Structure 1
Amino acid sequence: MRRLLIVSFLLVAGCATSGSPGPTPAAAAAPPAVAADPVTRGRSLVETRCAACHAVGLSGESSLSPAPPFRTLSQRYPVANLQEAFAEGISTGHPQMPQIALEADQVKDLIAYLESIQMPPKTR
């Protein structure tokens, strides 16, 4: 308890002498801003972790030819079926693909984003 009081005093004294009011308790406790919807979080995830090889948006070609554009995944299999594979850690999708391991919330966000960009099936 005494240590806490000393640290608190030093912090207050430091703020008072520096002319800076210091952080408010609400600002200090505020969590970092996080996108509210899963599609936005999923888009951010794929742009960060997948876009170097895959086309991750509604247009464009993948920079690595064996890496399918994400918007066409549903033409191969239901996107929702990928949830288990991502949760367990995909070890191969194409030969150059690194092993992917995601947290449960990241998998849900990824699937939400993938479902949001799927192209309609080709008609014959």
Structure 2
Amino acid sequence: MIDHIGIRTADFDRAKAFYDKAMAPLGASLLMMVPPEHTDGVKVGGYGRDRPVYWLSEGAPASEPKHIAFTANTRDEVDAFYRAALEAGGRDNGAPGPRPHYHPDYYGAFVFDPDGNNVEAVFHRPE
């Protein structure tokens, strides 16, 4: 149902370094930077697997941090996302593991990004 989403970051280069590492285990990467002549010089980049779906833009973050969950293809990807995100400067908000209170096959990990957003990798099937 959601085609793409974007968030603002106070420090684009710091957020880019974080997401470059955190997204890699999920098979996602920075796929494009919007040319600055189309953004009034603001840095804007899109992450995804086959097309940009998660956009970062330079600017004051929203006053309330967001929660964003990224689909993982395996539990191992969830684990690798969590490790990579912590190594990239993220802060723990829930180690990888089952979350049966959501549903029996829910397996996720949660990390705060540099702007305080709660980012998650989640796998929804039995493994």
After TM superposition, the score normalised by the length of structure 1 is 0.30
After TM superposition, the score normalised by the length of structure 2 is 0.29
Q: Which has the larger radius of gyration?
A: 1
Structure 1 or 2: larger helix share?
A: 1
